Structure 1
Amino acid sequence: MPGLDDVPYPCRVTNRPLSPSLTPTRRAAGLLAGLALGVALLAGCSSEGASTDCGLDACTVTFDRGVDASASILGVEAKLIGAQGDQVTVEVAGEQLTLTAGQQAAEAGGLQVTLDSVTDQQVKIRVAKGSSS
């Protein structure tokens, strides 16, 4: 009778796991953390008549002109009140600001607000956390 060494491709069984398995508790904790992060990212920016592009500490909001445009970003509401020429009035964190493209950031509710651009169709502002001190 041939031995194991005589078989061309011997099968050997070992009891070593190929990869460490996660316990059900760790698996559930990871799933919950992932879900919480996803919900936080989705809840971080919402808009109506506007589009948002948010990072960790700043958002760019592009408002459509001619509609009631608003966005919820960085925990506050931002609304386009009006635009005339190169001046734009927005409300951020309950404070009305009149902005001109190229001017230094204005502060509202601890956030720095600047006007990036204004066209016939859109107004683009940048809202960032922190102060300019």
Structure 2
Amino acid sequence: MVLKPTRRVAAALSSATLGLALLAGCSSDNVSCGIDQCTVTIDREVNASASVLGVEAKFVSADSNTVTLDVAGEQVTLTKGQQAAQVAGLQVSLDSVTDSTVSFQVSRN
């Protein structure tokens, strides 16, 4: 079956839109994503959260080296320099903790 030019253009645009949505994998200004990995930077406050790779990540608490997050309803404690934690089919690791922000990586397994 040969598609008419109009249908080819529509199919190409549809595929491009879907590809961009999958590439982004995130819905927040504080999330920067590649294909299967995102860097999230959220405020260090109780109600801070971000939607990333299909799950919600919420700030719970932090000290100078450790951060506790709620990822997809499961609490995970991350330590700077430690291996990524497995949660909700994702790997989550801590990048940095400052007085005002927390930055962490989320990637697909």
Gaps of 5+ in 1: 1-21
- Measured in 1, the distance between the counterparts of 2:17 and 2:90 equals 28
Name the larger-Rg structure.
Answer: 1
What one-letter code is carried by the residue in structure 2 that aligns with 1:56?
I
Kindly report which structure 2 residues correspond to 1:33-72, keeping only aligned pairs within 5 A, or say none. 33-41=15-23, 44-47=25-28, 51-66=30-45, 68-72=47-51
TM-score by length of 2: 0.84
Over aligned residue pairs, what C-alpha RMSD do you find?
1.9
TM-score by length of 1: 0.70
Kindly report which structure 2 residues correspond to 1:27-106, keeping only aligned pairs within 5 A, or say none. 27-41=9-23, 44-47=25-28, 51-66=30-45, 68-106=47-85
2:88 corresponds in structure 1 to 109
1:110 Cα deviation from its structure 2 partner: 1.5
**Compared CA separation, residues 126 and 68, structure 1 to 2 (3 A):** same
**Compared CA separation, residues 67 and 54, structure 1 to 2 (3 A):** same
Larger relative contact order (CA 8 Å, sep ≥ 6): 2
The number of residue pairs the alignment matches comes to 106
What one-letter code is carried by the residue in structure 1 that aligns with 2:51?
S
Moved more, 92-101 or 30-39: 30-39
Q: Report % sequence identity.
A: 54
